Amino acid sequence: MSEPAPPTAPPAHDRAALDRSLVRGVAWTGGMKWLTQAATWISTLIVARLLSPEDYGLVGMATVYVGLLALLSESGIGTTILTIRELEGRAVEELHSVAVAAGVAGFVLSCLVAKSLSIFFHQPALQGVIIALSVNFVITALRTVPQSLLRRDLRFRRTAAIEGASSIIVAATSIALAMAGFRYWTLVVATLLGSAVATISVLVARPLRFRRPAFANMGRTLRVSRDILIGTIAWYVFENSDFFVAGKVLGAAALGVYTVAWNLAYSVVEKVTGLISGVTSSIFSAAKHDAALLERYVVQITGALSLVLLPATVGVALVAPELVRSVLGPKWTTAIVPLQILVLYASVRSLTPILAQALTVAGDTRYTMMRSVVAAVCMPIGFFVGARWGIVGVASAWIVVHAPLVVAPLFRRATTRLGVSPTVYFAAIRPAAVSTIVMAMVVLGGGYALSEVLSDGPRLAAKVLLGAAAYAACLGGVFRPRVMAVVNALRRASGGAATAAPTGGTGGGDGPPGPPSIRPSGAAAT
């Protein structure tokens, strides 16, 4: 196999096609995700009531290890297909073989170390959970490359249908098993079933042969894959080290509470960013040789995301006490303050994955790798120090350590490497930011007035309605021209016959969401 030649920039007349592909891809993906969102939320709330914090904590311990090894077994291959978008034919079949071999190796390794990990965490049941979850290495490895090819070919309708069907199956299975008394096995079995359904569907939609890899001719591909893999592993280390610290230092019950707080904090972020990530990866790949076009997509997509994510995350923080007490029950009240801290910081983190994704697709894989490595060293230290104040201290470490080490440098790099203007960038998110501040002031004032006359449930509903009305009024009244400009741009992009954009890579490997109890993966990758 010979290395593919460097690609040429897409012609200017493809810009309209890329706009249409972006809008329609988000429409298909978004329509299916929001269709399944209600089922997922219902499942989350029911399962949280039926299971105990110890059940969540046990599976949380297993997923810290299993999730890391899953990244190792994926080997950065999915994102490599995106970054080197000209990979075809024999090269793709060889990568498919490498991906599956890595998945099998991950499962074997887990079988060997599962007992030692159960002894380390003082949880005998952990051994069986780790081995069972590790079956997913092989299942997901079988779809890593085929799913990447579906996204690269902009087959968003098919991928959205696959992920939507998997989500419904996971939600229904979680409820049924939890009601049947399967305890922590509810989370394990639901994960495996959802993954198996997705893999079978992907292989039917995009069959792919195996071919013996010729590693001597894969130099460029392996170098890019190496940078992506190291960076992804480092990201996973710092992203999950808070769970490790909470479980090891504070115990399974504290970890269970922290897990629920995290899931509530990032559930909306994961859904919205997951809605567009598979689409934007292909669009960024096709536009990466046109600096002005790439900057345009980064700024406009960030501005559109802020209109949804900023009010959603800040809104959850404002209603957290009523939400936890009335929906989850009194046994979860210790999750209120960690939830508020995590979700407020999520309002900042929710916009940064677009920058990281664009930098990776643009070929800046070495920088993104080093940024994650630095965070992987410093974040666990911050969590250990923060654990002296319990899960509140662990949650606070995200703001104290992560913001200056990761978010600020990432933005500076985007301004230089991608040419993103700070003035243009912050102007894009200004309507959402100002309207969210107004919303917060109204909800805080109204919530204080209602606290003496309404119980938690009615007060929750009243605060949600009050906040939504305040946000809509400010956005529509003060920033109506800006909002209409976005709406008109979407209408123009969605008009006309569907036109396929140039084929490109995909940010690979993301399958169906896990069961409603397990921490979202990739929701905020920076």
> Given phi > 0 = left and psi -120 to 50 = alpha, else beta, which region is 229?
alpha
- pLDDT band, very low/low/confident/very high, at 446 (cuts 50, 70, 90): confident
- pLDDT band, very low/low/confident/very high, at 507 (cuts 50, 70, 90): very low
Q: For residue 427, which phi and psi values (nearest 5 degrees)?
A: -65, -30
Q: Which pLDDT does position 509 carry in this prediction?
A: 33
Share of residues in the chain with pLDDT > 70 (%): 79
User: 468 or 92, which is more confident?
Assistant: 468
- pLDDT band, very low/low/confident/very high, at 513 (cuts 50, 70, 90): very low
51 inside domain: yes
Q: Which pLDDT does position 18 carry in this prediction?
A: 64
Nearest to 243 by CA among 268, 266, 261, 269: 261
| CA dihedral for 81, 87, 93, 95, sign (positive or negative) | negative
Over 60: is that where the pLDDT of 7 sits? no
Q: What is the mean pLDDT of the chain?
A: 79
Q: Which pLDDT does position 494 carry in this prediction?
A: 54
In which residue are the tokens 């089922």 written?
A: 39
Least confident range of 10-14, 178-182, 217-221, 285-289 = 10-14
Section 337-364 average pLDDT: 86
3 inside domain: no
Over 90: is that where the pLDDT of 440 sits? yes
509 inside domain: no
- pLDDT band, very low/low/confident/very high, at 456 (cuts 50, 70, 90): confident
Q: Which pLDDT does position 514 carry in this prediction?
A: 34
Q: Which pLDDT does position 379 carry in this prediction?
A: 93
What are the pLDDT digits (tens) for 245-298? Answer: 988 898 888 888 898 899 888 877 877 776 677 677 767 776 777 778 888 888
Write out the two tokens for 242. 């808070």
Share of residues in the chain with pLDDT > 90 (%): 15
Over 80: is that where the pLDDT of 176 sits? yes
- pTM, two decimals, is 0.67
Task: Write the single-letter amino acid at 211.
Answer: R
79 inside domain: yes
Least confident range of 159-168, 181-190, 233-242, 243-252 = 159-168
If you ran DSSP here, which 8-state letter would residue 326 be given? I
Least confident range of 22-31, 302-311, 353-362, 398-407 = 22-31
442 inside domain: yes
User: 121 or 429, which is more confident?
Assistant: 429
What are the pLDDT digits (tens) for 72-103? Answer: 666 667 777 766 666 777 878 888 888 888 88
CA 422-20-7 angle, to 5 degrees, is 75
Nearest to 361 by CA among 444, 441, 304, 418: 418
- pLDDT band, very low/low/confident/very high, at 517 (cuts 50, 70, 90): very low
Contact 184, 518 (CB under 8 A): no
Contact 393, 387 (CB under 8 A): yes
Contact 505, 84 (CB under 8 A): yes
Section 397-410 average pLDDT: 90
- The domain tally of the chain equals 1
DSSP reduced 3-state for 13: coil
Over 50: is that where the pLDDT of 466 sits? yes
Helices (H), 180-290: 185-205, 219-245, 252-287
Q: Which pLDDT does position 32 carry in this prediction?
A: 66
Distance CA 522, CA 121 (A): 25
Rg of the chain on CA atoms, in Å: 22
Distance CA 271, CA 323 (A): 19
Over 80: is that where the pLDDT of 402 sits? yes
Section 436-441 average pLDDT: 94
**End-to-end Cα, the chain, rounded Å:** 35
Over 70: is that where the pLDDT of 29 sits? no
Over 70: is that where the pLDDT of 383 sits? yes
- pLDDT band, very low/low/confident/very high, at 155 (cuts 50, 70, 90): confident
Write out the two tokens for 312. 């959603």
6 inside domain: no
Please give the C-alpha separations between residue 516 and each of 126, 338, 492, in angstroms, as whole numbers. 20, 19, 37
Section 483-488 average pLDDT: 70
Q: Domain span at residue 246?
A: 14-494
Q: Which pLDDT does position 397 carry in this prediction?
A: 94
515 inside domain: no
Write out the two tokens for 41. 């939320």
- pLDDT band, very low/low/confident/very high, at 31 (cuts 50, 70, 90): low
Q: Which pLDDT does position 414 carry in this prediction?
A: 87
Over 90: is that where the pLDDT of 166 sits? no
Helices (H), 387-510: 390-397, 408-417, 422-450, 456-478, 480-494
Chain center to CA of 47 = 21
Least confident range of 6-20, 181-195, 452-466 = 6-20
Over 50: is that where the pLDDT of 234 sits? yes
503 inside domain: no
